[in-house]
Structure 1
Amino acid sequence: MSRPVIICCAVTGSADTPSKNPAVPVTPQEIARSALDAAAAGAAIVHIHVRDPKTTRPSLDLELYRETVDLIKAENKDVIINLTTGTGARFVPGREDPQQPGPGTNLSSPEIRTRHIEALKPDICSLDMGTMNMGDTVFMNTPGHLAAMAEVIGRVGVVPELEVFEAGHIRLTNSMIERGLLKAPHLFQICLGVPWGQPATTEAMVYMKHMLPAGAQWFAFGIGLHQFPMAAQAVVLGGHVRVGLEDNLYLGRGELAPSNAALVERAVEIVKAIGHPIATPAQAREIIGI
């Protein structure tokens, strides 16, 4: 049956992508403008990281988050804002002493990683539900840190978007739900194709979908060339869609995406071609339970 499908746009991320595609926004003004354009193209949710404007590197600066959110809300009060808590989880072992952090490590406390959530109280914030090798680094989210972050998120009334990169992350999430550490509504993001998590395949998405708790709403995405095939697969399987320059820099083979809005427009075409309408922000709030 036809149903409203929510599109989330992941606007910038934290990888070294501005050097690879000049459309990746960096400053609060650029990030906000790109988010607003994505919303105008059909995204009900915009997923926000911030970057140091001088270095383009990921940042935990509260004032950068505040400026970005204020700029979005000044022009569009309806779009659902989803702020990341993923920054501050990278660990690289030191070459001489692996017990000491090497270059690239940005491990931060749960308090620092959720400071902007407590201050700004967005509609949604991401919560990465486990540790994994990610490229050549370790993406470190211990159960204790996740419990501490979940407590802050729940206390300020923000809906956590539970990002799961492999099946074990769902097992941990389900355990935290059963222990009352994660309250309803339960919103999942199935992340596929990230080295070295689950591959971006139909089989992986089906497997992970069937592990989710009853009644959960879920999104899925694939990175790079898998972005649009996984968007279509998520719709067919009853989920919602995430696209954006965080996950994919290309609109087609050899064609750099000119904007986040262009990626959202392609997702809109896919969803409508399968036979579903695009959810408005108001419909998305009702579906998720915000």
Structure 2
Amino acid sequence: MSRKVILTCAVTGAGDTAAKSEHVPVTPEQIAADAIAAARAGASVVHVHVRDIETTQGSRDVELYSEVVRLIGESDVDPVINLTAGMGGDLTVDPSDPTRELGKLEGTDLVSGLDRLPHVEKLRPEICTLDCGSLNFGEGSQLYVSTPDMLREGAARIKELGVKPEMEIFDTGQLWFANVMVAEGLIAPPPMYQLCMGIPYGAPVDSGLLDAMVHLLPEGAQWTSFAIGRDQLRWVAQSVLLGGHARVGLEDNLYLRKGVKATNAQLVEEAGKIIDSLGDQIATPDEARDILQLDRKALSA
């Protein structure tokens, strides 16, 4: 029986990828244009980070978010807008003296859970992300920090704002804690999970592990899974076959195939072909809103 699959396009991310592909959008105009193109190609949801225009690195600038949202809102498409709220969790430590200049070393951008939400407070998107735990983030000495106290405080405020949190899960312990927040009533039903695979050093890209994580989800949960790099497109099928939704985009993968750099719209089109080949259909934005029981709001730019 055909099922409606919510397809998210993560258009830019915060990683150091702008120098690796000319297709990675940087300015608000470029990010909005890519989000609009992805929606025209079939994406139900666009997941938005913003970048500092000069450095091209990830930013928490509220005005940059406002401009992206305004431009999408003035377009001829109406995707569900999902704004990241994960920026502000980076901590770099000196491995030989972990308390030296704590919070001051290059690469650190660490603020409280509530201080990660000013753009959500202002714009009230339909969805924002909530990264559900701390993580050794790749090689070196950088951590992503999101403690239980930070998460409970952030989840409570997001719920007050009427925004749906997409709980980003990078490992099984984070899934455990996300389930605790659901049980505590901090997450409005239906809870929305994003199972993130392949980010060093979180959950590896493994179909057996994904199956195990899906079995730990509470009844009635809506979930998506994605994998990074060359695993991205095949993971669309993996996620859909297990009953989930799907995500693609240049945040997670720069290539359409080996040696061929992708655009966001091309990745959405390829994902659409995979979903169609499995006998399912991409949900329209309004169908996605119904599935996720979103509280539709007029975004203020």
Q: Choose 177-186 or 154-163, whichever is displaced more.
A: 177-186
Confirm or deny: 8 A CA contact 1:5 1:239 kept in the other structure.
Answer: yes
How many residues are paired up?
A: 289
Question: Is the 8 Å Cα contact of residues 9 and 243 (structure 1) preserved in structure 2?
Answer: yes
Runs of 4 or more consecutive aligned structure 1 residues displaced over 6 Å after TM superposition: none
Asked if the contact 2:12–2:249 (Cα under 8 Å) also holds between the matched residues in 1, the reply is: yes
Contact map agreement 2:40 2:77 (CA 8 A) in 1: no
Q: Is the 8 A contact 2:36 2:77 kept in 1?
A: no
Gap change, CA 1:147 and 1:76, over 3 Å in 2: farther
Q: Deviations over 1:73-92 (max 9, x none)?
A: 11146210000011111111
Letter in 2 for 1:219: T
What residue is the counterpart of 1:163 in the other structure? 168
Show the counterpart of 1:86.
86
Could you say which residue in structure 2 is the equivalent of 1:9?
Answer: 9
Aligned equivalents of 2:291 and 2:209: distance in 1? 24
Note if 1:173 corresponds to 2:164. no
Aligned-pair RMSD on alpha carbons? 1.1
2:287 is equivalent to residue 286 of structure 1: no
Q: Equivalent residue of 1:75, what SS? A: coil
Indicate whether 1:264 and 2:268 are aligned.
Answer: yes
How far apart are 1:95 and its partner, in Å? 5.5
Cα drift, residue 185 of structure 1: 2.2
Matched, 1:149 2:167: no
What is the CA–CA distance in structure 1 between the aligned matches of 2:279 and 2:183, rounded to whole Å? 36
Tell whether 2:115 aligns with 1:112: yes
Aligned-partner Cα distance in 1 for 2:185–2:223: 20
Is 2:50 the partner of 1:47? Answer: no
C-alpha deviations, 1:118-171, integer Å up to 9, x for none? 110001001000111111321111011111111211111000001101111110
Separation in structure 2 between the aligned mates of residue 182 and residue 218 of structure 1, nearest angstrom: 14
Q: Distance in 2 between matches of 1:77 and 1:122?
A: 16
Are 1:191 and 2:190 matched, yes or no?
A: no
Separation in 2, partners of 1:76, 1:110: 34
Match for residue 130 of structure 2 among 105, 109, 127: 127
Superposed CA deviations along residues 1-48 of structure 1, whole A, max 9, x for unmatched, are 211111000010000000111100000000000000000001010000
Determine which of 185, 207, 214 is the counterpart of 1:209.
214
The Cα offsets for residues 162-214 of structure 1, whole Å up to 9 and x where unpaired, read as: 11011111100111111222222200101001101111121111011111110
Greater displacement, 91-100 / 235-244: 91-100
Note if contact 2:89-2:111 (Cα within 8 Å) is conserved in structure 1.
yes
Which string of whole-angstrom CA distances, capped at 9 and with x for unpartnered residues, describes residues 97-128 of structure 1?
Answer: 42213210110122220111011000100100
Q: What is the identity, as a one-letter code, of the residue corresponding to 2:277? A: A
Q: After superposition, give the CA deviation of every residue in 1:227-272 in whole Å (9 maximum; x if it has no partner).
A: 0111101111110000000000110012111x10000000001000
The question of 1:239 aligning with 2:244 is answered yes
**Residue 260 (structure 2) pairs with residue 251 (structure 1):** no
Alpha-carbon distance in structure 1 between the residues aligned to 2:136 and 2:95: 17
- How far apart in 2 are the matches of 1:279 and 1:160? 19
Distance 1:42 1:194 in 2: 26
Q: How far, CA to CA, are the matches of 1:54 and 1:152 in structure 2?
A: 32
Instruction: Give, as a single letter, the amino acid of the residue that structure 1 aligns with 2:13.
Output: G
Q: Distance in 2 between matches of 1:95 and 1:199?
A: 25
TM-score, with length taken from structure 1: 0.97
- Residues 113 and 146 in structure 2, CA contact (< 8 A), matched pair in contact too: no
